[in-house]
Structures are given as C-alpha cells and as structure tokens.
Chains A and B, each alone.
Chain A
Amino acid sequence: MTDTLVPKLAQPKAVLTGSSAAADHSEGMSYLETLPRRIVTVYLPLTVILIVLLFPFYWMALTAIKPDEQLLDLDTYSPFWTWTPTFKHIYKLLFETNYPRWLWNTMMIAVAATILSIIASVLAAYAIVRLRYRGAQFVGGAIFLAYLIPPSILFIPLSTVVFQYGLFDTPFALILTYPTILIPFSTWLLMGYFKTIPFELEECALIDGASRWQILLKIVLPLAIPGLISAFIFCFTLCWNEFIYALTFISSTQNKTVPVAIVNEFVDGDIYRWGSLMAGALVGSLPLVVLYAFFVEHYVSAMTGAVKE
C-alpha cells in the first residue's frame, strides 16, 4: 500500500514535464514522423495557438509602458514595440490612486477566505474519507453538487442575506461567502489525496493511543502537503478572480477588490485612460502569475485532480 502512495504524491510533476514513464509515450513512436511533417502538423499550429493565447498579455504589458502619444497614433510609431518605455502609468496607479488599497483588500480577502475554506475542507474531507460516518457517501455527493451551483444564480438572494447579517460593504461579506465556492472544490480535491494515505499508518497511531485529532494533525496532514498546497493556490486564484459577489456586496470605493475597482473606478471618458487601465490590469495579474510560476505543478494537479476524482 505504501507503494501506491509514492507515485500519487509525485504525480503533480507528471502532467507538465511528462517525466513519469506512463506520461511520456510519444517518444517511442516519434521516429515515424519526418521533421518537415512535424513542422507542418505540430510546430506551426502550436505556434499560431500560442501567439493567439499570449498576444492579449503582450498588448496589455506594452500598453502599460507606452507613452500616451504613441498609444493612439498607430501610424507614426510602430505599434508593436516601443523604444521609449515609461513607468508613468504604473507610477500614477500606485501613488495617485487607491490601487494599493484595492490590492491589499483583494489579497487580505483572498487569504482569509482561503484559510477558512482549507480548514473546513480538511476536516470535512477527512471525515468523509476516513471516519466514514453514516451517510458519508451521500454528503460527498452533495458537496460535489454544491460545486456545480454557480454564483450567478446565488448573488441576488445572498445580497439580501448579507444585508440581513449586517455584513454589507464590509470585507466579511466576501470572506464569508467565498468559501461557498472554495469548500466544495477543495474538499473534493483533498478527499482524493487522503484516500492515497495508507490505512496502516493510522492503525499504528490508533494502537499507540493517538486520538483522531492527533492522527489528522501529525500523520495525515504532513503526508497531504502537496494536496494542501494545490488546494491553497487554486482557492487563492479563484478568490482573486471572483467578480460578481464583490460587485454586488461592496459599494464604497475603499473596500473594493481589484477586478471590481478597475471596471468601476478607472473607466471614465478620458481618451488617454488606456495606459493606466492596462497598467492596472497588468499589476493586478502579476501576483497570480508569479505565484503560478512557482507552483505550476501543484496548480495543474489541482485542476486536473478535481476533474478526475
């Protein structure tokens, strides 16, 4: 049983690097293809798709550092490059607007909601997988169904609930409602991880007199760290991305999150707004992209793991 543990825990790497034996099978038969054929059937379409996928970000970054006069005059200056980059837009964003405040709000709400959700999910997933109380199967299914309920059909009644509880226009409105999106997902993900941890380890601990609580803290959680990181990163990204609750439950400017603030506060009639708008989008995306760059494998395993289980 311990044998099954190792490949599962090592799995995050597989999808991206193709390093495990099962993942990399294309090499075996690739000699059947000639290079010109590969260029036409693989490299060319792949390059086209990659350019389409990445161009909006290139354009966003380029616009953020272009001087204003180059932004709107596409004929005098080459629009695809600039030799005179400026940090004016980013400087203006960080020092003359509420942007740092919005970044801080987004970060704080995302971290708080994620931590709350992970704690609740760890307990729930462990109970469903290992305590197997009566009805655990049913609860597992119900949690999966909860994942399929989209925020778009909940925000109207939730806004009245948030108002009744006196949470309207406070960060708690979001900190307490985001877990409804995050808990189903991370519980489902963690259930998959907990299932791979051998029973024998828990039996040994039980015989040694450990309580369920100690088993969870000292045996299960340390072994499920890759799963916890995956769940944490994915939840954090979902929070950062969330829009409709933040738009509905927050009204005052200084309490807004980055996505809502950009849409509502930056869009004025100014013809030169594009520079600061793109700078705002760029700075708002960077924290997530940096986080993603560090934890690519965990991120992918979270995404595929939740689908596979």
Chain B
Amino acid sequence: MAEATLRIAEDGRQAYGLSPGLQRLSSNRNWLGAWFMLPAAAFLLLFLAYPLALGIWLSFTDARIGRAGQFIGTENYEWLWDDATFRLSVFNTILYTVVASVIKFAVGLYLALLLNHNLPLKAIIRAVVLIPFIVPTVLSAIAFWWLYDAQFSIISWSLRQLHLISSNIDFLGDPWNARWSVIFANIWRGVPFVAITLLAGLQTVPPSLYEAATIDGATRWQIFRHVTYPLLTPIIAVVMTFSVLFTFTDFQLIWTLTRGGPVNATHLMATLSYQRAIGGGYLGEGAAIATAMIPFLLAAILISWFGLQRRTWQQGESND
C-alpha cells in the first residue's frame, strides 16, 4: 500500500520537471538505485571482488614479488599437499578453531546467563565485560606476551608462590604449551562478543514463558533446555558462524605472540600464507594457501549455519 502510493507520487512528479533524459536519470528507481549504489559497488568490486578472483588466479601461477607469474596449473597445490609444514598448519588451524569456538560458546553462553540476572551495577558490569573486545587485538596480545614471558611471567610466579609448580612454565617455547596459550588468548578475546550478543538474544525471551515453566514445575535445567535454548538458536547460529569464521582466519594474535613458532607449532594457514607470500616472496604459493582456506570456510559456515538452523525447523518454528 505504502509502496504503491510512493510509486504513484513518483510517477506524478515525472509530468513536471526538465528534459525527459534528466528526468529519467533522477527519478527512475532503477537508475537512481544504480547511482546510489555506485560508491559502495566501486569499493567492493575494485578492492574485494577483483582481489578475490585475482587471488584464486595467483594460486595457479608461480608469481613472486616483483615478477608476474606464469600459469602452472595445480603445481602449487600439489607441492603444498606434500608439504609437512602446510599439513601441520591445517591441523593447527582446525584444532585452534574447534577448541576455541567450543569453549567460547560454552563460556560466552554461561556469562550471558549470569549477566541476565538482576545484578547491582548491571550496566557497568555489562559495559566492562566488553572491554577485551574493544581493545585492539595486537595490543592485548602484547599484554599476553608479557604475561606468558618465559622468565618473568606473573602466572608462573604466582603458581610458584602457591607451590603448585617448581619451575617456570615455558608458555610460548614448548609446542603444546604454545598452542594452548594462544588458544586461551583467543578465547579471552572472543568470549565478550559471544556473551554480549547472546545476552541481547536472551533479553528478547518473554518473561511469561519462564513464569509458565516455573509454575509447571520445570527445573532450572529444563527451563534452559526447553525454553531458553530453542528461542536462542537463531542468534546462536549467527554468532557462532561469525566466531568460527574469525577464529579460522585469525592472524594478528598468532603473529604477535609466536609468529608461528616454536618449530611451526602454532602456524595457522593465515600466518603461513603471510610468511610464504610476503616474507618469502612466493606470492603464488601464499595465494594457494589462502585459497585453500576457502573450502574450509564454506564448510564451517554451512555446518554452523544449517546445523543450528535445522533444529529450529524441527521444533516447528519459523526460521528467520
């Protein structure tokens, strides 16, 4: 109805005005739409779509820094397939993404439920929770670097004072310690985002549902499982899709804390592609590693999106 009125009003205006050509450009909605889309489209095509295609093309060439590449087919991929470092980086990336995402989700949901209580100083606490997400990753990663220092780590020192350990923990020097340390730093940064967005979802759950469930004698767990969780699934699907995506492609945290070391134990695909392409100059090979991330990303998006959405359908709700 409103649409129709608008269209009539617009058509009416065409009777007046200047030359037909100008009229067409300024009031035909398709033309006007094209003009309005122009700046955004220019940015996205020039600096997003074109590089994306160029990246896939580069991965099939032997380009180096300062030298355009020749088409070499799938040679880069074949080489990477036999490359132990690349395989290790795939393993690290999957481990990093799975462990960090699962814990971020669990802790984030728990924190959101805690924050949903009626607390004193509620506004301040909720604002403070988000600070790790505001501070640039590199700067907080540097703080973690200091916390993880091999010699002067306050964590090691405190544990030694409590007589829980006898010598300092080598957080970033030992392969598995380093993996858990970077995973912890990633969780630390991601939890606030998950918690605050889920909190926003929690606040849309109508209180009458909780009251009805309580009157029916539901336990706390039953209320969570059968009221809160089903209503929250759509927003969980979106939040976790984003979380998985950004964890999988993480670069800054690893680069600041370990640069992929020790002995490549924390190299993710993103850091390895930087090291090979920019550090080593093998643009084609780096582009192949970056392109190899795309199928994983698509799989991760599809799993977290449809996996969680299907549950909503099963419960017979509209899926938005």
Q: Does chain A bind chain B? A: yes
Q: Is B249 an interface residue (CB 8 A)?
A: yes
**Chain B residues with CB under 8 A of A247:** 255, 274
Q: Is A259 an interface residue (CB 8 A)?
A: yes
**Chain A residues with CB under 8 A of B111:** 46, 49
Q: Is B206 an interface residue (CB 8 A)?
A: yes
Residue-wise interface mask of A (104-134) relative to B, using a CB-CB cutoff of 8 A (1 in contact, 0 not)? 0000000000001101110110111001111
Nearest opposing residue in chain B for A131, CB measure: B33
**Chain B residues with CB under 8 A of A136:** 33
A240 to B27, CA, bound (A): 39
Of the candidates B122, B210, B239, B278, which one forms a contact with A25 in the assembled complex, judged by CB atoms under 8 Å apart? B210
A47 to B114, CA, bound (A): 11
**Chain B residues with CB under 8 A of A40:** none
Whether A15 lies near B199 (C-beta < 8 A) is: yes
Whether A304 lies near B196 (C-beta < 8 A) is: yes
Nearest opposing residue in chain A for B154, CB measure: A79
**Chain A residues with CB under 8 A of B246:** 150
Most buried by A among B111, B129, B203, B246: B203
Given A157-B51, A157-B54, A209-B13, is A150 in contact with B206 using a C-beta cutoff of 8 Å?
no
Nearest opposing residue in chain B for A30, CB measure: B118
Nearest opposing residue in chain A for B33, CB measure: A133
Nearest opposing residue in chain A for B26, CB measure: A211
Q: Is B58 an interface residue (CB 8 A)?
A: yes
Residue-wise interface mask of B (281-311) relative to A, using a CB-CB cutoff of 8 A (1 in contact, 0 not)? 0010011001101100100010000000000
Nearest opposing residue in chain A for B58, CB measure: A157
Whether A153 lies near B143 (C-beta < 8 A) is: no
Whether B36 lies near A79 (C-beta < 8 A) is: no
Most buried by B among A16, A149, A156, A292: A156
Of the candidates A124, A132, A153, which one forms a contact with B249 in the assembled complex, judged by CB atoms under 8 Å apart? A153
Whether B235 lies near A308 (C-beta < 8 A) is: yes
A247 to B188, CA, bound (A): 24
> Smallest CB–CB gap between A226 and chain B, Å?
16
A286 to B173, CA, bound (A): 31
Interface residues of B in 113-140 (CB under 8 A from A): 114-119, 122-123, 125-132, 134-140
Whether A284 lies near B54 (C-beta < 8 A) is: no
Of the candidates A14, A56, A161, which one forms a contact with B51 in the assembled complex, judged by CB atoms under 8 Å apart? A161
Whether B200 lies near A308 (C-beta < 8 A) is: yes
Interface residues of A in 194-247 (CB under 8 A from B): 199-200, 202-203, 206-207, 209, 211-212, 237, 240-241, 243-244, 247
> Smallest CB–CB gap between A135 and chain B, Å?
8
Give the interface segment out of A2-10, A87-95, A180-188.
Answer: A180-188
Number of CB contacts from chain A to chain B under 8 A: 330
Whether A53 lies near B191 (C-beta < 8 A) is: yes
Nearest opposing residue in chain B for A15, CB measure: B200
Q: Is B174 an interface residue (CB 8 A)?
A: no
Whether B211 lies near A150 (C-beta < 8 A) is: no
> Smallest CB–CB gap between A72 and chain B, Å?
6
Interface residues of B in 235-252 (CB under 8 A from A): 235, 238-239, 241-242, 245-246, 248-252
10 closest cross-chain pairs (CB), A and B: A133-B33, A25-B207, A127-B36, A199-B2, A150-B249, A157-B55, A259-B138, A124-B40, A120-B39, A304-B200
Question: Given A123-B36, A153-B55, A288-B134, 5 more contacts at CB 8 Å?
Answer: A25-B205, A32-B214, A79-B157, A160-B54, A244-B252
A-B contact pairs, 19 of them (CB 8 A): A15-B126, A24-B118, A120-B39, A132-B33, A134-B30, A153-B249, A154-B51, A157-B58, A157-B287, A199-B5, A211-B27, A237-B134, A244-B251, A247-B274, A262-B139, A281-B143, A288-B134, A292-B130, A292-B134
Interface of A toward B, CB cutoff 8 Å? 14-18, 22-30, 32, 38, 42, 45-46, 49-50, 52-54, 56-57, 59-60, 63, 71-72, 74, 79, 116-117, 119-121, 123-124, 126-128, 131-134, 136, 139, 143, 146, 148-161, 176-177, 179-180, 183-184, 187, 199-200, 202-203, 206-207, 209, 211-212, 237, 240-241, 243-244, 247-248, 258-260, 262-263, 274, 277-278, 280-281, 284-285, 288-289, 292-293, 296, 299-300, 303-304, 307-308
Interface of B toward A, CB cutoff 8 Å? 2-3, 5-6, 9-10, 13, 26-27, 29-30, 32-34, 36-41, 43-44, 46-48, 50-52, 54-55, 58, 63, 107, 110-111, 114-119, 122-123, 125-132, 134-140, 142-144, 146-147, 149, 152, 154, 157, 188, 191-193, 196-197, 199-201, 203-207, 210-211, 214, 235, 238-239, 241-242, 245-246, 248-252, 255-256, 270, 273-274, 277-278, 283, 286-287, 290-291, 293-294, 297, 301
